[in-house]
Amino acid sequence: MHKIGILTSGGDAPGMNSCIRSIVFVAEKMGISCFGIMRGYDGLIDGEIISLNKSAVNHIIAQGGTILKTARSSRFMTYEGRQQAYESYKKMGLDGLIIIGGDGSYKGAKIFQDEFKVSIIGIPGTIDNDLFGTDYTIGYDTAINTAMKLIDQLRDTAQSHNRVFFVEVMGNDAGLIAIRSGLAAGAEDIHIPEIKTDINAIFDKIACKNKDESMIIVVSEGDEYSTVELAKLAKEKFPALEIKTLILGHLQRGGSPTAFDRLLSSRFGLLAVQSLAKGKSGFATGIINGQVQLIEIEKVEKHLNYIKPHLLEMLDYFC
């Protein structure tokens, strides 16, 4: 293993840059040259490559987003696109790839490896934390903390006006960001895709609200009811109340990664380079009970509808 490429694919996540830095540091120490591939699989197809060394990545550990840019590639979904990507891969003289991304990125990596026998290691980078084989994905902890801080700030103005706010957080089809950020911010109610939403139960909680209190209801973007729809129904039921909506959206993707995400991404980068150097391919990094490990990429898929029992118990007591 003399020359490896790094690409980030799919949605960006805080900590991707920390991971890129880790890969470059470890590779350089092992005598392996590192190259960044711009714009994900599209950049691989088009041969967009830059040289990376320690001085180039030394200060990116605190930056959100990804210096390599990212994209979802429709071209890579076709055999012709992957064939072109392989030709570019050979022209670059690469011996292996490290791909940082989520479920879709892994699927592309598995197909690419099977078709062209390319050595690949995946690293889980998604704020949704919805991949099998790891307790945490890069960006998840930062997204929770970002959402919590924004809800904390919202509480100040909500309390000043005794308002009811429906706040939407990201998470795709998983409610993990909603449940953790909502509990940490002291939300009065939380709604996630994994639990059926009871409209009447929401109305009951609003009806019990003291006139001098605010109320924050956190809704995951994947819930069966949209945030706007829930707020509209509540407004029809309680026309005298000030009921507002706030969609946090892509604010949760940005910002400097937390210490947890910086350390997690550094550990993943270390394991990925070590694994490629040992001739391993077709695996993804993960962390289970504090221990980093490898899992076969073909086994990694979205794992939905699983919320740890202690979180469900907290919902029951605190919301």
Contact predicate 55/299, CB 8 Å: no
pLDDT value of residue 211: 86
pLDDT of residue 19: 98
172 CA to centre of own chain: 10
Six-digit token string for 100: 């940082």
Specify the pLDDT at position 159. Answer: 94
**125 shares a domain with 75:** yes
Same domain, 109 and 57: yes
Catalytic residue, candidates 128, 130, 141, 189: 128
Same domain, 133 and 269: yes
One domain, residues 68 and 210: no
pLDDT recorded at residue 63: 96
Q: What is the rounded distance in angstroms from the CA atom of residue 296 to the CA atom of residue 283?
A: 4
Q: Where are the alpha helices (DSSP H) in 73-198?
A: 79-92, 103-116, 140-161, 176-184
For residue 37, the domain's CATH number is 3.40.50.450
The reported pLDDT for the residue numbered 261 is 98
Query: Does 243 map to a domain?
Result: yes
Q: What is the pTM of this model?
A: 0.94
Looking at the structure, tell me whether residues 279 and 247 fall in a common domain. Answer: no
Q: Answer yes or no: do 114 and 247 share one domain.
A: no
Whether 237 and 262 share a structural domain:
no
Residue 238 lies in a domain: yes
Write the CA distances from 176 to 129, 136, 169, 220, 266, integer angstroms: 7, 11, 10, 8, 23
**174 close to 311: Cβ distance less than 8 angstroms:** no
Domain that holds residue 195: 141-254
On whether both 204 and 262 belong to a single domain, the answer is no
In the block, tokens 């969609």 appear at 247
Active site residue 114: no
The pLDDT value recorded for residue 283 is 97
Total structural domains in the chain? 2
Residues 96, 119 contacting (CB under 8 angstroms): yes
Please give the biggest Cα pair distance in the chain: 68
Q: Tell me what pLDDT residue 40 has.
A: 96
- Same domain, yes or no: 172 and 96: no
Mean pLDDT by 10 residues, the chain (319 residues): 95 97 98 97 96 96 96 94 97 97 93 97 95 94 97 95 96 92 97 94 94 94 94 96 95 95 98 97 96 93 73 93
